[in-house]
Structure 1
């Protein structure tokens, strides 16, 4: 058993920690059966856990709730059939879905390593227009793949976070400047008072 753990640790150390989903995640509809596929992982990492999560942006996009559930804890090989997507996760119109692939357990009892992560994607109602398909299709990672959050959501987050941050920073700087100016005037007044007394 120690040899298997050592081999898995060596495999991770050599930069093979990420298996990567090979699905495009485009055009998934509610109730569809999706064959999830990923790059091969060492047998020592099996069985695998596939976790699904959804972000519900809520009304107006100012509040978001997240829900997470395991699709399976017994996946092996390089594929698994996800029947009745998004089941067992709830169906949320306009929700952003994402999948993660991890080993079922770790030998040290620590957090299990992330092997693969899908881009965010949508699950549309059956018969929905083609334009409502998922916005997925890129690889997870830095910088602007197709799997990024949609443009309206990104703009909304930028406005919701950026504007209050700029206003808050301006108010803090104005208060600090006013405080500094007041302290400087008080210091000058005390110097004048000392000069007059002597």
Structure 2
């Protein structure tokens, strides 16, 4: 499935990384981020939420809508970002996952985290805000970036709502159901 057949209960239907997930819930919304040179922001005394230290994007020709089970292209993008940002995997304090709630995506993404971050993947808290706001498609990346900036500012990482049952293929720390206080100096958004 892409979209969940459980849309009659959207508040509980989105279950990223849960064994019983069955697709995503459409959402609406957007966020606007102002990107500017650090020195320019300081000169105008802007309120700075975070610094964008790296960026990467990948695509694949594996299948029109399918994802490689090994997460290779996402792992390559994550590795590029870490090189640009000059940080090691164990310096990441939080991952805002794409976490769509589809069986294929959540397994692909988990494999990508393990492939690119190695054993550090098991120590980094991961969550999907789509479990709470739905998937707004093209706009979700900006919403997830804003969530990362707010996690850094407030020292609280959002949970993955509706997570109940472990999937053997999705075995990382998905911050189940309750936000967690945590200092976040470096966040990775793969929205």
- Give 1 or 2 for the bigger CA radius of gyration: 1
Query: TM over 0.5: same fold?
Result: no
Higher RCO, 1 vs 2 (CA within 8 Å, ≥6 residues apart): 2
More strand by share: 1
Question: Could you tell me the TM-score, scaled by structure 1's length?
Answer: 0.29
Question: Could you tell me the TM-score, scaled by structure 2's length?
Answer: 0.29
